């Protein structure tokens, strides 16, 4: 299989420039693939898929019949990120996380940014993920967003933008690690001659961060656990994978109990104290005493123990206030307000439907825009204007008018593409990129992240629940033209 | 630097234990069906009621009658091997084993998980309308895969507390299954004393031994087939891996490790029951047992093993309320 017939179709392609010539950083990979024996690429692709199934690297599909598991489709052609692009992304992400963390801490304490009217107070009051129960809490090290999975996209203008921040319980990092592993097992030859930065240090860095945030009164070596909703959760594979990689206990809510504002786990030899919880349960279900009282997944009294400083939670409850897509529009102002700097990574221009002028523009241009519900994720509650029917647009117009606060709109981005195996040949498919950022004593950005790919032809929706797949992401430690000079 | 020994979550101990039980159950059912299929070939005119004892062995005759009505070979095999609604079918056992394994993947080894996962994927492919002639090979494949799982378990999982709970699950299930097959077969064969020594009778007794992979060992140890010899072999042999006494002894060893009760200290209830059962099996005389009723004896054994299982749950898997608080104080 060769790239001879490959077309960029006028999109920004991560491997080829507008004239159809290989980009310098992709040249070697393209040559390697072109030199492969006929059929080998396809064989490796099939082998990779078989391995995924055998290893049980699957996710559960909600709304499907119980117990349906699918593999998260993996495409063998990697996505390459230049060293200089990455340096810029890394600086931008660190700045953004620092600014957002300051913001969340301020929102749950003095609310200076609201008093100074940089962010409108009514936005926070009406934010679905603002949690009054978290007012006045001082998390260890003052960190609220320990693990973030920021979504980045490259538009047709070649510029990289932040699409979403994903501060609450971002998932997908296990696929990054497994994808790299799979690549090395099925297709080792393509790594030759390239300086791809490793990703395997992530579990170590994650554990280091989790141990760093332990409460001051905990034992010498803190007991860290990962709290999962259980095997029917769509991200269960990841929970179990990360627990295994870190060598920590994977617990469910029913394994934990709170006594005297201290968290214990039930073991065969009685109760053992827990110091740090990497929780993969949403705020709502975390503690029926503090949040939704009908939650069966959570641990009664957990938030009280957390507030008393007897247990650390990552991520901190309440941090989702900054995940609101209306708050997102203010992030450049937030960064300027707290850090006195301009944002390095730009936002996608965003229209806020609660503003009269913006709403009018949105309603007049629905067929051009992407409309998103302010508090949904996973590609749900979204209208892609140019791909929509008149009826869908009518429905969305009605929803926007009924609840303008809950909708934002953005121009439809021409997401960049990467060559992707489609049956027996290569076609361009749209991608995004989700790097993972850890914040404990300092900020660590994983080299790369999850490249999600919309496998359906022409689709812009990359979510796994909507026909998305993933690719290995290669961040180069130096650009090939630098090595040659 | 090594950390303090990692405590084992009660839920994990429970899941590991049941994972092993389900695998062992699947293996036993596969062997029972396989042996019966084989036996059928030697008894060409035998009616379908040869299949009834198999359902009796599983203890699920009522569920069968309700769903399938009359007893036929094809229906019994579907029920015992592939029925997704019958919780003790091979398919359901492998599915349950996998569910349990999935919930403890960070405790078991990756190799164990991959083996369970591939067994499950395999039977999913095989269970839709398997051809009659393909059955022996499918059943053999399941047995081997289960054996491989045992081997992988012992070779790749550290022999820690979780492993001991796993081994107890395997051994308690095995003891239960051996006692059931013996009970049911003895019940069928005994009412016809006139047949003792006839070729058909010997075939049946050989089939019992084959059902627990014990034929060759029995021959080496005891030579000719006799009902008393077989009962002694399957109940009181210490060394044969499927003999009830062997299974109980091994369970007892693991129980001692996980209970960790120092000599002289108060035993847990499960330990007390286990000590009594071991003592009794060590002293049991099978000729006397047969005279006073093997069925009652085996029934008693099963009840006592079930009690030990219940006590495991109380002593280790379900620590709640007051006892939790008391244990927390001791633990600190």
Q: Give the three-state DSSP class for A155.
A: coil
Cα–Cα dist B119/B123, whole Å: 6
State the average pLDDT for chain A.
91
Q: What is the pLDDT along chain B (332 residues), one digit of tens a residue?
A: 455 578 899 999 999 999 999 999 999 999 989 888 887 777 766 666 678 888 887 778 888 999 999 888 889 999 999 999 999 999 999 999 999 999 999 899 999 999 999 999 999 888 887 788 889 999 999 999 999 999 999 999 999 999 999 999 999 999 999 998 888 887 776 655 455 556 667 788 888 888 888 888 998 888 888 888 999 999 999 999 999 999 999 999 999 999 887 777 888 899 999 999 999 999 999 989 988 888 899 999 999 999 999 998 888 887 554 444 444 444 33
Instruction: Mark yes or no for CB contact A55/B258 under 8 Å.
Output: no
> What mean pLDDT do residues A306-316 have?
96
Neighbours of A478 (CB within 10 A): 13
* Nearest alpha carbon to residue B82 among B65, B99, B71, B95: B95
Distance from CA of A236 to the nearest CA of B (A): 9
Please report which confidence band the pLDDT of residue A482 belongs to, taking 50, 70 and 90 as the band edges: low
Contacts of A328 (CB under 8 A, 6+ apart): A164, A165, A322, A347, A350, A408
pLDDT at A176 over 80: yes
CA distance B134 to B114: 25
- Average pLDDT in the A420-434 region? 93
**Coil, strand or helix: which one is B185?**
helix
**Cα–Cα distance, A202 to B220 (Å, whole number):** 57
Cis peptide, bond prior to residue A315, ω within 30 of zero = yes
By C-alpha distance, the chain A residue nearest B261 is A269
Q: How large is the ipTM?
A: 0.81
pLDDT at residue A326 tops 50: yes
For residue B106, give the nearest of A230, A243, A267 by CB distance. Answer: A243
Residue B328: predicted pLDDT: 46
In this prediction, residue A423 has a pLDDT band, given cuts at 50, 70 and 90, of confident
Choose which CATH entry (3.30.420.10, 3.90.100.10, 3.20.20.450, 3.30.1490.270) describes domain A350-412. 3.30.1490.270
Which is it for strands A249-252 and A224-228: parallel, antiparallel or unpaired? Answer: parallel
Q: Do B161 and A250 touch (CB under 8 A)?
A: no
Mean pLDDT, range A432-446, rounded to an integer = 97
Asked if the Cβ–Cβ distance from A257 to B10 is below 8 Å, we say no
Measure CB to CB from residue B319 to each of A53, A56, A270 and give the nearest one: A270
Give the 3-state secondary structure of residue B243.
coil
- Alpha carbon A112 to its chain centroid, in Å, reads 29
Task: Please tell me the predicted confidence (pLDDT) of residue A146.
Answer: 98
CB contact under 8 A, A271 and B331: yes
Cβ of A269 within 8 Å of Cβ of B8? The answer is yes
**Predicted pLDDT of residue A330:** 97
Buried-state track A231-255, b at ≥16 Cβ within 10 A, e below 16: bebbbbbbbbbbbbbbebbbbbbeb
Which of A319, A286, A281 lies closest to A130, judged by CA?
Answer: A319
- Contact call for A268 and B8, based on CB within 8 A: yes
Report the residue of chain B nearest A229, measured CA to CA.
B103
**Mean pLDDT within A427-431:** 96
Cβ separation A271–B114 shorter than 8 A: no
Do residue A270 and residue B13 have CB atoms under 8 angstroms apart? no
Q: How many residue contacts between A and B have a Cβ separation below 8 Å?
A: 83
Is A264 in contact with B105 (Cβ distance < 8 A)? no
A386-413 pLDDT tens trace: 999 999 999 999 999 999 999 999 999 9
Residue A191 has pLDDT above 90, yes or no: no
Q: Exposed (0-12), middle (13-18) or buried (19+): which is A122, by Cβ within 10 Å? A: exposed
Residue B295 CB partners (closer than 8 Å, separation 6+)? B183, B186, B187
Calculate mean pLDDT across residues A92-96. Answer: 98
Per-residue pLDDT of A271-295, as tens digits, reads 999 999 999 999 999 999 999 988 8
| Residue range A46-55, pLDDT digits in tens | 988 888 888 8
> At A301, is the secondary structure helix, strand, or coil?
coil
Instruction: For residue A297, give both structure tokens.
Output: 């997944």
CA distance B65 to B71: 8
User: How far off is chain B from A95, nearest CA to CA, in Å?
Assistant: 35
Question: Looking at the predicted structure, is the pLDDT value of residue A377 above 80?
Answer: no
The pLDDT, as a whole number, for residue A291 is 92
- The contacts of residue A203 (CB under 8 Å, 6+ apart) are A177, A242, A245, A246
Please tell me the least confidently modeled range out of A1-10, A200-209, B276-285: A1-10
Chain A, nearest residue to B99 by Cα = A231
In chain A, the residue whose alpha carbon lies closest to the alpha carbon of B165 is A268
Interface contact B11-A249, CB threshold 8 A: no
Question: In a mutagenesis test of the A interface, which of B101, B105, B160 is the best target, namely the one with the most A β-carbons within 10 Å?
Answer: B105
Domain extent listing, chain B: 9-157, 158-320
* CA dihedral of residues A149, A154, A160, A163 (deg, nearest 10): -40
pLDDT value of position B190: 62
From chain A, pick out residues whose CB is under 8 angstroms from the CB of B103: 230-231
Among the ranges A27-31, A265-269, A344-348, which has the highest mean pLDDT value?
A344-348
């Amino acid at each position: 299989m060769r790239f001879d017939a490959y077309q960029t179709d006028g999109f920004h392609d991560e491997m080829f420039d507008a004239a159809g010539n290989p980009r310098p950083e992709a040249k070697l990979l393209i040559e390697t693939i072109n030199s492969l024996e006929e059929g080998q690429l396809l064989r490796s692709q099939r082998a990779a898929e078989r391995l995924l199934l055998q290893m049980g690297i699957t996710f559960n599909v909600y709304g499907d019949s119980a117990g349906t598991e699918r593999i998260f489709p993996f495409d063998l052609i990697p996505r390459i990120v230049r060293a200089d692009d990455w340096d810029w992304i890394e600086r931008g992400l660190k700045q953004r996380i620092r600014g957002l963390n300051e913001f969340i801490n301020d929102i749950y304490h003095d609310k200076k940014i609201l008093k100074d009217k940089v962010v409108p107070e009514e936005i926070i009051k009406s934010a679905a993920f603002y949690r009054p129960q978290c007012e006045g809490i001082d998390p260890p090290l003052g960190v609220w967003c320990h693990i973030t999975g920021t979504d980045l996209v490259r538009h047709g203008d070649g510029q990289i933008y932040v699409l979403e921040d994903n501060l609450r319980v971002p998932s997908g990092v296990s696929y990054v690690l497994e994808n790299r592993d799979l690549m090395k097992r099925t297709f080792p030859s393509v790594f030759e001659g390239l300086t791809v930065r490793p990703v395997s240090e992530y579990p170590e860095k994650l554990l280091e961060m989790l141990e760093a945030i332990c409460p001051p009164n905990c034992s010498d070596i803190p007991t860290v656990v990962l709290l999962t909703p259980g095997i029917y959760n769509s991200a269960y594979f990841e929970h179990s994978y990360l627990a295994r990689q870190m060598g920590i206990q994977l617990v469910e809510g029913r394994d934990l109990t709170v006594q005297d504002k201290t968290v214990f786990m039930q073991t065969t030899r009685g109760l053992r104290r827990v110091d740090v919880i990497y929780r993969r349960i949403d705020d709502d279900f975390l503690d029926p005493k503090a949040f939704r009282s009908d939650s069966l997944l959570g641990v009664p009294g957990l938030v009280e123990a957390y507030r008393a400083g007897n247990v650390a939670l990552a991520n901190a409850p309440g941090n989702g206030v900054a995940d609101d897509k209306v708050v997102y529009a203010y992030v450049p102002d937030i960064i300027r307000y707290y850090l006195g700097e301009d944002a390095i990574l730009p936002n996608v221009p965003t229209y806020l439907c609660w503003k009269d002028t913006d709403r009018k523009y949105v309603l007049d241009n629905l067929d051009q825009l992407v409309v998103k519900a302010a508090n949904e994720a996973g590609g749900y509650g979204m209208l892609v204007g140019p791909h929509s029917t008149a009826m869908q647009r009518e429905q969305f117009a009605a929803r926007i008018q009924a609840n303008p606060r809950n909708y934002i709109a953005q121009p439809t981005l021409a997401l960049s593409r990467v060559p992707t195996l489609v049956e027996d040949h290569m076609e361009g498919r749209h991608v995004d990129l989700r790097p993972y950022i850890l914040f404990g004593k300092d900020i660590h950005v994983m080299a790369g992240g999850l490249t999600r790919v919309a496998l359906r032809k022409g689709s812009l929706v990359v979510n796994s629940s909507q026909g998305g797949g993933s690719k290995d992401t290669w961040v180069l430690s130096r650009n090939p033209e630098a090595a040659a000079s | 630097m090594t950390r303090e020994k990692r405590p084992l979550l009660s839920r994990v101990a429970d899941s590991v234990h049941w994972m092993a039980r389900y695998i062992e159950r699947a293996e036993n059912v596969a062997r029972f069906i396989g042996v019966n299929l084989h036996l059928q070939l030697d008894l060409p005119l035998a009616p379908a009621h040869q299949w009834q004892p198999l359902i009796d062995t599983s203890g699920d005759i009522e569920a069968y009658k309700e769903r399938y009505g009359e007893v036929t070979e094809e229906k019994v095999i579907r029920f015992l091997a592939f029925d997704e609604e019958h919780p003790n079918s091979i398919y359901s056992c492998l599915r349950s084993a996998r569910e349990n394994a999935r919930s403890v993947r960070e405790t078991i080894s990756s190799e164990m998980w991959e083996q369970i996962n591939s067994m499950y994927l395999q039977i999913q492919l095989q269970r839709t309308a398997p051809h009659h002639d393909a059955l022996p090979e499918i059943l053999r494949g399941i047995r081997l895969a289960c054996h491989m799982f045992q081997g992988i378990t012992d070779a790749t999982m550290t022999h820690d507390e979780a492993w001991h709970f796993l081994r107890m699950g395997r051994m308690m299930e095995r003891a239960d299954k051996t006692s059931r097959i013996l009970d049911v077969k003895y019940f069928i064969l005994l009412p016809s004393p006139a047949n003792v020594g006839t070729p058909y009778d010997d075939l049946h007794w050989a089939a019992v031994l084959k059902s627990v992979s014990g034929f060759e060992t029995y021959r080496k140890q005891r030579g000719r087939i006799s009902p008393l010899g077989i009962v002694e072999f399957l109940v009181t042999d210490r060394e044969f891996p499927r003999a009830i006494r062997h299974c109980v002894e091994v369970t007892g060893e693991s129980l001692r490790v996980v209970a960790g009760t120092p000599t002289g200290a108060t035993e847990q209830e499960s330990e007390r029951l286990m000590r009594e059962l071991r003592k009794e099996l060590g002293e049991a005389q099978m000729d006397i047992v047969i005279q006073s009723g093997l069925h009652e004896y085996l029934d008693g054994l099963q009840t006592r093993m079930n009690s030990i299982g219940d006590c495991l749950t109380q002593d280790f898997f379900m620590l709640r309320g007051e006892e939790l608080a008391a244990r927390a104080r001791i633990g600190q």
